[in-house]
Every structure is written in C-alpha cells, then in structure tokens.
Amino acid sequence: MERALATEEGYLEAVFRNASCVESWGTDATVGIDREATVVNRTADGVYVEVTHPYWYGTDDNTEVDDGSNALSLVTSETVHRVRGDEVSPCADRPR
C-alpha cells in the first residue's frame, strides 16, 4: 500500500513541478485529508489499491488550494501503475 501512496505522491510532485503558475506546494496534510490506502481487489494481475493523498499549492495570482487526490493503482511485485485518478491541473483554467 505504501508503494501505491508513493506513486500518487510522485504524480502530484510531477504536476506541481511542471505547473508554471505554481509558486509553492506540498504533499502533506493541512486540512484534515489524510494519506490513506485501501486494498479493493486482488486478482491474478495484482492488487488494486485505492489511495487518497493530500496536497496544497499556491499560485502566482494568490490562489491557495488545500485538497486531496483520489486514485486507483494496480500494484504487482515489480510495478505500480496508476490506473485512474483525479486530474490535478492547477494552471488549466487560467487565461493564456
């Protein structure tokens, strides 16, 4: 389950590092959303794990967000694949 949480944290870190409007960010809890992982299915392909991961960010237009992402990951002995999840895109609604 820790590997699924680490995969979601890596997803969030990549989003924030590559978001031109983001000035500060973190993946620790600030508003009561905790890191959680729950096994929801075991198959021959691997273990499906639902995760919730907190994040926060501030943008160059003084927007501040505290939230959490939800995702489903497939965990095998060798890999973790983010099957689906929230799309976090802090700069998407900004004028160009």
Do the domain assignments include residue 90? Answer: no
Per-residue pLDDT at 96: 53
pLDDT for res 48 = 98
Q: How far is CA 13 from CA 47, 56, 57, 77, 91, in A?
A: 24, 11, 11, 24, 15
Residue 55's domain comprises 2-85
Is 91 a domain residue? no
Pull the structure tokens for residue 71.
Answer: 């995702």
- Is 53 within a domain? yes
Q: Could you report the per-residue pLDDT of 15-55, keeping only the tens digit for each? A: 999 999 999 999 998 778 899 999 999 999 999 999 999 99
The confidence score (pLDDT) of residue 64 equals 93
Instruction: Indicate whether 92 belongs to any domain.
Output: no
Q: CA 20, CA 59: separation in Å to the nearest integer? A: 9
* Domain count within the chain: 1
H or E stretch at 5 = helix 2-17
Averaged pLDDT for residues 62-82: 96
